[in-house]
Protein backbone atom coordinates (compact mmCIF):
# COMPACT_ATOMS: atom_id res chain seq x y z
CA UNK A 1 0.00 0.00 0.00
CA UNK A 2 2.88 2.30 0.79
CA UNK A 3 4.18 1.96 -2.82
CA UNK A 4 0.94 3.34 -4.23
CA UNK A 5 1.18 6.50 -2.19
CA UNK A 6 4.82 7.27 -2.88
CA UNK A 7 4.96 7.54 -6.65
CA UNK A 8 3.83 4.09 -7.74
CA UNK A 9 0.19 5.21 -8.20
CA UNK A 10 -1.67 6.45 -11.24
CA UNK A 11 0.88 7.45 -13.80
CA UNK A 12 -0.25 9.40 -16.81
CA UNK A 13 -3.68 10.34 -15.51
CA UNK A 14 -3.33 13.93 -16.67
CA UNK A 15 -2.39 12.76 -20.16
CA UNK A 16 -5.57 10.70 -20.41
CA UNK A 17 -7.67 13.73 -19.50
CA UNK A 18 -5.83 15.85 -22.08
CA UNK A 19 -6.42 13.25 -24.78
CA UNK A 20 -10.13 13.01 -23.90
CA UNK A 21 -10.49 16.80 -24.12
CA UNK A 22 -8.52 16.92 -27.38
CA UNK A 23 -10.63 14.18 -28.99
CA UNK A 24 -13.82 15.92 -27.86
CA UNK A 25 -12.70 19.17 -29.45
CA UNK A 26 -11.67 17.31 -32.60
CA UNK A 27 -15.10 15.64 -32.80
CA UNK A 28 -16.92 18.97 -32.33
CA UNK A 29 -14.76 20.56 -35.05
CA UNK A 30 -15.43 17.67 -37.43
CA UNK A 31 -19.20 17.82 -36.83
CA UNK A 32 -19.20 21.60 -37.35
CA UNK A 33 -17.40 21.25 -40.69
CA UNK A 34 -19.84 18.52 -41.79
CA UNK A 35 -22.86 20.62 -40.78
CA UNK A 36 -21.51 23.67 -42.61
CA UNK A 37 -21.00 21.51 -45.70
CA UNK A 38 -24.58 20.23 -45.50
CA UNK A 39 -25.88 23.79 -45.15
CA UNK A 40 -24.00 25.10 -48.18
CA UNK A 41 -24.92 22.03 -50.24
CA UNK A 42 -28.60 22.48 -49.33
CA UNK A 43 -28.44 26.16 -50.22
CA UNK A 44 -26.88 25.27 -53.57
CA UNK A 45 -29.62 22.70 -54.26
CA UNK A 46 -32.31 25.27 -53.46
CA UNK A 47 -30.70 27.89 -55.71
CA UNK A 48 -30.30 25.39 -58.54
CA UNK A 49 -33.99 24.47 -58.34
CA UNK A 50 -34.98 28.15 -58.31
CA UNK A 51 -32.81 28.86 -61.36
CA UNK A 52 -34.35 25.92 -63.17
CA UNK A 53 -37.84 27.26 -62.46
CA UNK A 54 -36.92 30.74 -63.67
CA UNK A 55 -35.44 29.34 -66.88
CA UNK A 56 -38.64 27.43 -67.59
CA UNK A 57 -41.02 30.24 -66.63
CA UNK A 58 -39.45 33.18 -68.46
CA UNK A 59 -39.46 31.70 -71.96
CA UNK A 60 -40.78 34.01 -74.66
CA UNK A 61 -44.44 33.49 -75.39
CA UNK A 62 -45.10 31.12 -72.49
CA UNK A 63 -44.46 33.19 -69.35
CA UNK A 64 -46.12 31.17 -66.60
CA UNK A 65 -45.36 31.62 -62.90
CA UNK A 66 -47.46 28.58 -61.93
CA UNK A 67 -45.50 26.32 -64.28
CA UNK A 68 -42.22 27.72 -62.89
CA UNK A 69 -43.36 26.97 -59.34
CA UNK A 70 -44.47 23.43 -60.21
CA UNK A 71 -41.21 22.73 -62.04
CA UNK A 72 -39.16 24.07 -59.12
CA UNK A 73 -41.03 21.85 -56.66
CA UNK A 74 -40.49 18.78 -58.86
CA UNK A 75 -36.76 19.55 -59.11
CA UNK A 76 -36.61 19.84 -55.31
CA UNK A 77 -38.37 16.51 -54.84
CA UNK A 78 -36.09 14.70 -57.28
CA UNK A 79 -32.75 16.29 -56.33
CA UNK A 80 -32.90 17.46 -52.72
CA UNK A 81 -34.46 14.42 -51.05
CA UNK A 82 -32.61 13.74 -47.80
CA UNK A 83 -30.88 17.13 -47.67
CA UNK A 84 -33.80 19.59 -47.67
CA UNK A 85 -37.12 19.16 -45.90
CA UNK A 86 -40.30 21.23 -45.79
CA UNK A 87 -39.26 22.82 -49.08
CA UNK A 88 -41.67 25.29 -50.65
CA UNK A 89 -41.37 27.28 -53.84
CA UNK A 90 -43.11 30.48 -54.83
CA UNK A 91 -42.96 32.14 -58.22
CA UNK A 92 -44.03 35.55 -59.45
CA UNK A 93 -43.71 37.46 -62.69
CA UNK A 94 -44.24 41.01 -63.86
CA UNK A 95 -43.76 42.56 -67.29
CA UNK A 96 -39.96 42.39 -67.13
CA UNK A 97 -38.84 39.70 -64.69
CA UNK A 98 -39.63 36.25 -63.29
CA UNK A 99 -38.66 35.44 -59.68
CA UNK A 100 -38.69 32.06 -57.97
CA UNK A 101 -38.04 31.76 -54.23
CA UNK A 102 -37.28 28.51 -52.40
CA UNK A 103 -37.60 28.15 -48.61
CA UNK A 104 -36.50 24.94 -46.90
CA UNK A 105 -34.91 23.42 -43.83
CA UNK A 106 -31.53 21.72 -44.09
CA UNK A 107 -31.05 18.34 -42.45
CA UNK A 108 -28.93 18.63 -39.31
CA UNK A 109 -26.59 16.30 -37.46
CA UNK A 110 -27.54 17.75 -34.06
CA UNK A 111 -31.01 16.83 -32.77
CA UNK A 112 -33.13 19.90 -32.11
CA UNK A 113 -31.05 22.19 -34.31
CA UNK A 114 -32.92 23.74 -37.24
CA UNK A 115 -31.22 25.49 -40.13
CA UNK A 116 -33.39 27.43 -42.55
CA UNK A 117 -32.33 28.30 -46.07
CA UNK A 118 -34.08 30.80 -48.31
CA UNK A 119 -32.85 31.67 -51.76
CA UNK A 120 -34.29 33.22 -54.88
CA UNK A 121 -33.46 33.58 -58.52
CA UNK A 122 -34.61 36.34 -60.84
CA UNK A 123 -34.35 36.48 -64.61
CA UNK A 124 -35.48 38.80 -67.34
CA UNK A 125 -38.45 37.65 -69.34
CA UNK A 126 -37.44 36.95 -72.90
CA UNK A 127 -38.61 39.67 -75.27
CA UNK A 128 -38.69 39.69 -79.04
CA UNK A 129 -36.79 42.69 -80.36
CA UNK A 130 -36.23 43.94 -83.88
Distance CA 38, CA 90 (A): 23
Work out the pLDDT band at 32, boundaries 50, 70, 90.
very high
pLDDT in tens, 85-112: 999 999 999 988 999 999 999 999 988 8
pTM (two decimals): 0.80
CA-to-CA separations, 101 to 17, 72, 106, in angstroms, rounded = 50, 9, 16
Give strand pairing partners of 92: 99
Give the orientation angle of helix 13-57 with respect to helix 65-79, to 10 degrees.
150
Largest CA distance in the chain: 102
Distance CA 84, CA 45 (A): 8
User: Can you spell out the DSSP letters for 31-92?
Assistant: HHHHHHHHHHHHHHHHHHHHHHHHHHHT-TT---HHHHHHHHHHHHHHH-BTTEEEEEEEEE
Query: Which residues, in sequence order, are CB contacts of 80 under 8 Å at separation 6+?
Result: 42, 45, 46, 49, 87, 104
Query: Which residues, in sequence order, are CB contacts of 11 under 8 Å at separation 6+?
Result: none
pLDDT in tens, 33-89: 999 999 999 999 999 999 999 999 888 778 889 999 999 999 999 998 889 999 999
Percent of the chain with pLDDT over 70: 90
Amino acid sequence: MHGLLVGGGERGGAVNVQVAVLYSLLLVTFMTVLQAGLFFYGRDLALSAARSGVDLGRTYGTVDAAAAQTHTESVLVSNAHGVLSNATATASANDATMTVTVDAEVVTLVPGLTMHVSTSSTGAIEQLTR
